[in-house]
Structure 1
Amino acid sequence: MGTFLLLMAQASAVGGELAEGAAEGGFGFNTNVLETNLINLAIIITVLFVFGRKVLGTTLKTRRENIESAIKNAEQRAADAAKQLKEAQQKLEQAQAEAERIKAAAQENAQAASKAILDQAAVDIERLKAAGAADLNADLDKAIAGLRQRVVTLALQKVEAELQGGISGDAQKTLIDRSIAQLGGGV
């Protein structure tokens, strides 16, 4: 209330100075309190100051609490995000380590498979060489058997030709004795 009275006193002083200026001519203020509604303005300002202070204080207090709550929530979310980031980084490191282990195992498996394939290829080559040698020996045996057959056929043809031309008696006896000796009999 003291503030109100102070304001009223200052308004009267200013009003008096302006009234003096208005009397001289031109522009001026009306210092009549009832005509200017200063009392009404003072009552409204006082009511706003007394009751508005509580409402404004309550509103500001609520706003402050909301802001503090939002800050705490943001700090909590930031802490949670930092924790999740740390966990994600640990999982990433574990995944990278696992990937390196899998890569190393794959390289070892590839080397082992390569060695096994080379060993199997060497075994296959040896088997093919042996099969080729066996085929070559079989072909050689066939060729020798064919040549023997041809020699026998040619020998028989020559013998037949000589037989048709006739064999002397001594040659015939020698041939028969030799054939009997080969058969296991003896004379």
Structure 2
Amino acid sequence: MTIGWLLAAEEGGFGVDFNILETNLINLVIIIGVLYYFGGKFLGKTLSTRQSEIKTAIVEAEQRKKDAAAALAEQQQKLAQAQEEAKKILAEAQTTAERSRDEILKQSQIDVERMRANAAQDLTAQEARVMRELQQRIAALAMERSEAALPDRLNEDLQRRLVDSSIARIKGE
């Protein structure tokens, strides 16, 4: 059968052509033609679908980029506001601390003055108490000495006159 194919090819019918250069070029043109005719619509449709998908993806990416930029700007603004608020809070805390320190110093000065006044009062009160105790002790000592010396000086005659004088005072006055 191979021989039949060869003979048919030589007579102008279908057959196998052994000339590689001519055969490949013709086959290539035929394949390109068939692909262009049948595959043009399919390939065009696929490429157009792919192109629209890419355009949609680009638009969505640009929108996401804009949204991200807006969100970034908003967050930066919030950060700036938070930093300003932190500065205000810090300034208020410093002012409050200074005010508290001044009040504590004033109160401590008042307390020191009050303590000094109390100490002076206590010192005066203790001095008066010591003076009273000394007076009482001196009076007690004087009484003891007087009582100790009285029996030696007081004789019967003096005792009688003293009693008489006391009775006269009670009656007469």
Structure 1 partner of 2:86: 99
- Please point out which of 77, 83, 87 is paired with 1:90: 77
Structure 2 partner of 1:47: 34
Distance (Å, rounded) in 1 between the aligned partners of 2:26 and 2:97: 100
Match for 1:47: what amino acid?
Answer: V
Distance (Å, rounded) in 2 between the aligned partners of 1:30 and 1:39: 11
- Does 2:115 correspond to 1:108? no
Using a 3 Å threshold, how does the CA distance of structure 1 residues 148 and 37 change in structure 2: closer, same or farther?
closer
Structure 2 partner of 1:122: 109
User: How many correspondences in the alignment?
Assistant: 147
Distance (Å, rounded) in 1 between the aligned partners of 2:74 and 2:120: 68
Match for 1:30: what amino acid?
Answer: N
Structure 2 residue matching 1:149: 3-state secondary structure: helix
- Please point out which of 127, 133, 136 is paired with 2:123: 136
- Structure 1 segments of 4+ aligned residues over 4 angstroms from their partners: 36-43
Could you state the TM-score of these two structures normalised by the residue count of structure 1? Answer: 0.67
- Does 2:56 correspond to 1:30? no
Q: Deviations over 1:92-115 (max 9, x none)?
A: 111111111111111111111111
**Unpaired runs of 5+ in structure 2?**
1-17
Match for 1:111: what amino acid?
Answer: E
Distance (Å, rounded) in 2 between the aligned partners of 1:79 and 1:99: 30
Distance (Å, rounded) in 1 between the aligned partners of 2:61 and 2:73: 18
- Please point out which of 43, 49, 53 is paired with 1:66: 53
More relative contact order, 1 or 2 (CA 8 Å, 6+ apart): 1
**Unpaired runs of 5+ in structure 1?**
1-28, 181-185
Structure 2 partner of 1:149: 136
Distance (Å, rounded) in 1 between the aligned partners of 2:100 and 2:152: 76
Distance (Å, rounded) in 1 between the aligned partners of 2:103 and 2:67: 53
Match for 1:147: what amino acid?
Answer: L
